[in-house]
């Protein structure tokens, strides 16, 4: 039961992150359809997409039955494996790429910060997808610790 609670909570947090991405995408298209968006908006997009995963991890971790969930480290490893597969599948088709938009955005933000070349694009996409379950796990731990 603990594994199911943890994974469903992550799925809800991830869905919120995808919804935040879509919202920011629509705002960006509405204001900067023909030009590049400003840097402040790009930074805001990264924060708005990453924050729901962390915040909902904490909210779900605060629930009374969430404290009964044990072995969250093992569950995190499973999520990391799933998100790594999602990163590889994002190159396979548009549907998988749409599902991994938050990870792609975070990976591109890290690449921009570090100034990575085109050779490392795949590594940044994987890294962006791995950050999401880690943020959720951190939020879960904050919420479940008394």
Q: Whose CA is closest to 70, among 141, 132, 142, 146?
A: 141
The token duo for 68 is 């009964």
**50-59 pLDDT per residue, tens:** 999 999 999 9
- DSSP 8-state assignment for residue 71: -
Tens digits of per-residue pLDDT, 50-86?
Answer: 999 999 999 998 888 777 777 888 889 999 999 988 8
Count of Cβ atoms closer than 10 Å to residue 3 Cβ: 14
> What pLDDT was estimated at residue 56?
94
How many C-beta atoms surround the C-beta of residue 90 within 10 A? Answer: 23
Sign of the Cα torsion 28, 82, 77, 55 reads positive
**What is the reported pTM?**
0.89
Say how many C-beta atoms besides its own lie within 10 A of residue 38's C-beta: 12
């Amino acid at each position: 039961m603990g594994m199911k609670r943890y994974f469903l909570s992550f799925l809800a947090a991830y869905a919120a992150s995808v919804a935040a991405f879509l919202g920011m995408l629509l705002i960006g298209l509405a204001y900067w359809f023909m030009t590049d968006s400003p840097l402040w908006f790009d930074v805001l997009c990264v924060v708005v997409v990453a924050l729901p995963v962390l915040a909902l991890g904490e909210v779900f971790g605060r629930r009374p039955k969430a404290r009964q969930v044990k072995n969250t480290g093992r569950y995190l490893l499973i999520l990391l494996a799933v998100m790594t597969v999602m990163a590889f599948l994002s190159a396979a088709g548009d549907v998988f790429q749409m599902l991994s938009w938050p990870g792609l955005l975070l990976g591109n933000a890290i690449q921009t910060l570090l100034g990575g070349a085109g050779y490392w694009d795949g590594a940044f996409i994987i890294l962006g997808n791995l950050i999401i379950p880690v943020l959720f796990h951190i939020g879960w731990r904050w919420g479940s610790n008394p």
